[in-house]
Structure 1
Amino acid sequence: MEDWTQTLGAGPLLLIAAGAIALILVLIIVFKVHAFLTLIIVSLLTAVAAQVPIAAISETLTSGFGGTLAGVALLVALGAMLGRLIEHSGGAKALADRFVEIFGEKRAPFALGIASLVLGFPMFFDAGLIMMLPIIFAIARRVSKNNVLIFGIPAAAAFSVMHVFLPPHPGPVTATEAYGANLGLVLLVGLVIVFPVWYLSGYLWGKFVAARIPLPVPELFGELDHDQPKNPPKASTIIWLLLLPMFLIFLNTGLTSLASAGIVSSDDLWVQVLVLVGNSFVALLITVLVATFVLGSRRGENGSAMEKIVDSALGPVSSVILITGAGGMFGGVLRASGIGDALADTLSDLGLPIIFAAYIIAVVIRLAQGSATVALVTAAGLAAPAVLAGDFNELQVVAIVLATAAGSVFAGHVNDSGFWLVGRLMGMDVKTTLKTWTVQQTIESVAAFVLVLGIYGLASLL
């Protein structure tokens, strides 16, 4: 692959990508082929059609699959274990009852969304969503007559919004560095836009789709409503368990940001240790171990009983992990084909105002190859020379950063591993995921861009 150069132009590559996406939808929706098999088959055919060297196709497929699983498998497995422990102990139901008691049934979706926004500040999208699932499911069973979307969409959207627009998450930090923007100002303006963007694309959209698509709560952590223990843990105990990984992950993101700013040294051993402890999967591992003691051993359950409880969490999520990995395989093939670079070169000569150009480039690359991070980095790399050479004030540059981030999240679909993660965790088929999550991502992107465009216009008057 190192010596191979793509000779196809943007047009043929775009047709190949569009055909591959259409084939995935037809095989899964019309012919009911399993998503895991479909994604592998189409990934292989796409690599051949895009003229990836035959000798490199196997490595391209497995690297895309393995690269995705490296970030997803540990989080999903550990998150499922934590969820199973919380569910089995009766803690999820106890917290759900307390939550509804405080906020009421009507305000519960809004309150859970706000809680997810807070948790999403230091936590990556997938880690935060996995951690909150047992609470989402328990409250959905308690309040919404078994409809998961009224809580699931607002919570997932909250983690998405925070991950896309706010430092210290990697996307906005990368764009900030590329454009030479003020990181503190990016954080401040990001905080201004995240709530209205979430309210529209998460809370209101979640209520809208939940009223039209009744979706039962999946039994991802087992069906234990008929077998709740008589001595469940206090709701406060579960809250502290949920805050533990948030605190640990904040150590990682916070210290990494401080090291980048030169405030602390990344060579110091204590910094390296805390950054390691705050890695998402390490933080979840520590939390699972603490939960095993607090919710198990301390309450009289240990030995083989605890081993069986934890082990029972892995079966239901194995399909989620494999399908998400296969989605990463398909996205990896599209990236290896060079479609992102070809489109970027074509779009860079559009002659649009820079804020529009950055947004549109990010949108098109996101649609073509799936990865929001690749779309953001590519778009920022293309637009950066014009931004650095232009006569923009600090606030205008911040607006361009956030506009690029907004484009990178547009309409996640079958070539995005996150699409499969959200859909499968919430028990949705492909058609339902397209109607709910893909539309949510579109609304999030457009709403954020409109707000940022307004900020850009105001900044131009300064």
Structure 2
Amino acid sequence: MENFTQTLGAGPLLGIAAGAVALILLLVIRFKVHAFLALILVSLLTAFATGIPAGEIVNTLVTSFGGTLGSVALLIGLGAMLGKMVEHSGGARILADKLVDIFGEKRAPFALGLASLIMGFPIFFDAGLVVMLPIIFAVARRMGGNNVLLYGIPAATAFSVMHVFVPPHPGPVAATELYGANLGLVLLVGILIAFPIWYLTGYLWGKFVSTKYILPVPALFGSIDEDQPANPPKPSTVIAMLLLPLVLIFMNTGLDFLDGAGVVDAENQTWVQILSTIGSSPVALLISVLVATAVLGHRRGEQGTALEKVLDSSLGPVCSVILITGAGGMFGGVLRASGIGDALSNSLEAIGLPIIVAAYVIAVILRVAQGSATVALVTTAGLMAPAVVAGSFSPLEIAAITLASAAGSVFASHVNDSGFWLVGRLMGMDVKTTLKTWTVQQSLESLAGFALTLVIFWIG
């Protein structure tokens, strides 16, 4: 690729990029082609259309795919294992019960939402919501049984916020990789903005809509969750398991900062190198999974094959996400190799549209059009990454652009989004009510997230 010189102008290149995105949407929406296959096919066609030498096309595709998966697959797989251990041990329920005891029944919506925020760090949206709903329904019944949205919307929003903005969830991890952002910085900023986003668009919005739509608690799970273990871990143990990867990753980020400030010497001090390795995201999550396996598994009496099956069951649901993420990285690699990123960067500068705004708008359009937040975020990051690289942004600005793209990817969940049906059906809402409650909530979450990322971008 060193000898490849792009001869097409900015207009044709941007036209090809727009056509490529439109083709992805057409294949996924109209013809129901799996996103993994659609991204590979469009990447191949884009490579041909932009004039990449035929002998280099396969190498470009495979290298981009593998480069993305090298870090993403580890983070998503290990994150899924950690979440499964916490869920299987009964930690989710015991933590929620403890928070309700601390805050009192009158503040139960706040307590359940806070528990969901904590649990949402390692657990994916769908799994987390299903885990928490039996607890939510039990608390709602205790408080009268006719106001499920007061308890359900804050909790569902909490899982959504964590899933969209905070690694190790697949969307922000993939976007971080594609944009070349600092994962520790994205994690730190994501956690900082998660609580205000949840409080404004989840807790307060849940209190509001619960007065507009009085819905009984659905009888989906019975009165209690019968599958919970008899010997769950202590709440403090669960919190420690969730804090462990955060502490290790933040340690690495702090060492990078100290190295840049000249306080430590990462090149020549062995102890700094060892701690940096331990604090790298894959190693931090590996350590956390091993500790969780020992503390939440072996110490509770689970051994051998049974424990292995629990961990194995966490990987199946995330395989599709991992492959789609890799294919999104492939698409981004083709765009970078073809020179489309440079053309996009120059065009954005010419019309005066800031890259962070363009990234948000593109993610919103993709989200509304095809429904999947992950596909919208990965596609946006692949499209915008070359322009970000060419823009010479600071690490904090790149982190803000990454999270702005994430904010756009959650806008206006509706009938083409599986999460729309999950939330609506589990909480006993019809389509019209779900549109008025959940779709509006997702739009508010997107706008609030974008507003906060803009502030971070300006600070950076």
TM-score category (smaller protein): 0.5 to 0.7
Query: Quick one: distance in 2 between partners of 1:18 and 1:225?
Result: 48
Letter matched to residue 2 of structure 1: E
- The residue aligned with 1:107 is 110
Letter matched to residue 35 of structure 1: A
Q: How many Å apart are 1:450 and its aligned residue?
A: 6.7
Question: TM-score, length-normalised on structure 2?
Answer: 0.67
Q: How many Å apart are 1:259 and its aligned residue?
A: 0.7
Q: Does residue 1:274 correspond to 2:271, yes or no?
A: no
Query: Quick one: distance in 1 between partners of 2:6 and 2:381?
Result: 22
- The residue aligned with 2:369 is none
Letter matched to residue 297 of structure 2: G
- The residue aligned with 2:94 is 94
Q: In structure 2, do the counterparts of structure 1 residues 11 and 209 end up closer, same or farther at CA, with 3 Å as the change threshold?
A: farther
Aligned residues of 1:86 and 1:238 also touching (Cα < 8 A): yes
Q: In structure 2, do the counterparts of structure 1 residues 28 and 40 end up closer, same or farther at CA, with 3 Å as the change threshold?
A: same
Q: In structure 2, do the counterparts of structure 1 residues 365 and 261 end up closer, same or farther at CA, with 3 Å as the change threshold?
A: farther
Letter matched to residue 242 of structure 2: L
Q: Does residue 1:319 correspond to 2:320, yes or no?
A: yes
Unaligned runs of at least 5 residues, structure 2: 138-147, 168-174, 183-187, 216-223, 367-377, 411-416, 424-433
Query: Quick one: distance in 2 between partners of 1:399 and 1:323?
Result: 27
Aligned residues: 391
Counterpart mapping for 1:181-260 below 5 A: 225-260=225-260
Q: In structure 2, do the counterparts of structure 1 residues 112 and 335 end up closer, same or farther at CA, with 3 Å as the change threshold?
A: farther
Letter matched to residue 411 of structure 1: G
Name the SS of the counterpart of 1:296 in structure 2. helix
- The residue aligned with 1:142 is 135
- The residue aligned with 2:51 is 51
- The residue aligned with 2:408 is 411
Aligned residues of 1:84 and 1:309 also touching (Cα < 8 A): yes
The structure 1 residue matched to 2:451, chosen from 433, 437, 447, is 447
Letter matched to residue 44 of structure 2: L
Q: How many Å apart are 1:312 and its aligned residue?
A: 2.1
Deviation per CA, 1:119-153, whole angstroms, max 9, x where unpaired? 9xxxxxxxx45589865552244226799875454
Q: In structure 2, do the counterparts of structure 1 residues 409 and 58 end up closer, same or farther at CA, with 3 Å as the change threshold?
A: same
Q: How many Å apart are 1:227 and its aligned residue?
A: 2.6
- The residue aligned with 2:14 is 14
Query: Quick one: distance in 1 between partners of 2:19 and 2:359?
Result: 21
Q: In structure 2, do the counterparts of structure 1 residues 193 and 82 end up closer, same or farther at CA, with 3 Å as the change threshold?
A: closer
Query: Quick one: distance in 2 between partners of 1:79 and 1:335?
Result: 29
Name the SS of the counterpart of 2:264 in structure 1. coil
Counterpart mapping for 1:111-126 below 5 A: 111-112=114-115, 115=118
Aligned residues of 1:80 and 1:313 also touching (Cα < 8 A): yes
Query: Quick one: distance in 1 between partners of 2:156 and 2:165?
Result: 14
Counterpart mapping for 1:277-356 below 5 A: 277-350=278-351, 352=352
Q: In structure 2, do the counterparts of structure 1 residues 199 and 96 end up closer, same or farther at CA, with 3 Å as the change threshold?
A: closer
Percent identity, please: 47
Counterpart mapping for 1:374-389 below 5 A: 375=384, 378-379=387-388, 382=391
Aligned residues of 2:91 and 2:234 also touching (Cα < 8 A): yes
Aligned residues of 1:96 and 1:142 also touching (Cα < 8 A): yes
Q: How many Å apart are 1:58 and its aligned residue?
A: 0.8
Letter matched to residue 315 of structure 2: L
Q: How many Å apart are 1:257 and its aligned residue?
A: 1.0
Aligned residues of 1:79 and 1:284 also touching (Cα < 8 A): yes
Unaligned runs of at least 5 residues, structure 1: 120-127, 164-168, 177-187, 215-223, 385-396, 414-421, 457-462
Aligned residues of 1:399 and 1:452 also touching (Cα < 8 A): yes
Question: TM-score, length-normalised on structure 1?
Answer: 0.67
Q: How many Å apart are 1:275 and its aligned residue?
A: 0.8
Aligned residues of 1:113 and 1:154 also touching (Cα < 8 A): yes
Query: Quick one: distance in 2 between partners of 1:27 and 1:7?
Result: 29
Name the SS of the counterpart of 1:51 in structure 2. coil
Name the SS of the counterpart of 1:107 in structure 2. helix
- The residue aligned with 1:157 is 161
Counterpart mapping for 1:354-373 below 5 A: 357=354, 359=356, 370=379, 372=381
